[in-house]
Structure 1
Amino acid sequence: MTTRRLLLVILGGMLGTAGRLGIGLLVPDAGAFPVATLAVNLLGALLIGVLAARLPGASDLRVFLGTGMLGGFTTYSAFAVGAVGLWTDAPLIATAYVLLTLGLGIIAALVGVRIGRTRRSAE
């Protein structure tokens, strides 16, 4: 990895993480259910799908947007901690959270790829 690419990931990660924090401040959780984390992970999966379809390979823009910005925006660790925290008090809600995140995340990524391919073929 070149220094330029490392800096692109760092800058993108800072912007993505700030975006995630902003959404976390704007979107209140529903009780113990981590709504903001679910929202950023689903939006991130959709955008990563679009990006994968539009920018295949490892261009500087994809490194900045995908690895950096969207990597900082989405959060597996908060998802995992949220699921474990829910499990203690509400195992059924925790199971629903995990299934929603994974299932809808895959669907969001597929939709993103489809959107990205559709736009690409229209150009």
Structure 2
Amino acid sequence: MIVASGLGWVMLGGALGGVARVAVSNTLARWIGTAFPWGTLVVNLSAAFLIGLAAGILLSPDLSTTPQAWTLLAAGLLGGYSTVSSLSLQTLSLWQEGRLLAAISNMTISCLGGIALAAAGWWLGGRLG
């Protein structure tokens, strides 16, 4: 019953997305360090690209979109994977530490880069779909 309503797809995707977010963030922290929130930045930018790609493929007028696929990918997997709350808290922490340029850079790159990558993903998905 839950799966039929779409909530099951959101739960499944959210669980997988959350695990992927932690894995990517922890891996980048080990490789690059934690002086800047690289993990959250990479997660959010890659999520923006992937949601654009999914939209370009799944929402193509020539393709019969299943609501379950979109619910699983967009609301579930990518919703659980990307993390605006972490972005906000990490940017606030940078600001409070007096690292104003790092805080502004984090927000600017995340927001503008996210829009650009969502557009690139949409474009690529439209070509692939």
> Do the aligned residues in 2 keep the contact of 1:37 with 1:78 (CA within 8 Å)?
yes
| Pairing of 1:12-91 with structure 2 (within 5 A) | 12-28=13-29, 30-56=33-59, 59-89=67-97, 90-91=99-100
TM-score by length of 1: 0.91
| Pairing of 1:78-117 with structure 2 (within 5 A) | 78-89=86-97, 90-117=99-126
- CA deviation vs aligned residue, 1:44-78 (integer Å, no higher than 9, x gap): 00000011111126610110011000000000000
TM-score by length of 2: 0.87
Quote the Cα distance in structure 2 between the aligned partners of 1:40 and 1:65. 15
- Name stretches of at least 5 consecutive residues in structure 1 with no aligned partner: none
SS at match of 2:44: helix
Match of 2:11 in 1: 10
Q: Which amino acid aligns with 2:16?
A: L
SS at match of 1:69: helix
Quote the Cα distance in structure 2 between the aligned partners of 1:9 and 1:37. 21
Q: Which amino acid aligns with 1:106?
A: I
**CA apart distance, 1:86:** 0.5
- CA deviation vs aligned residue, 1:8-35 (integer Å, no higher than 9, x gap): 1001000000000101111015443100
**CA apart distance, 1:3:** 2.1
Aligned-CA RMSD value = 1.4
Aligned pair count reads 119
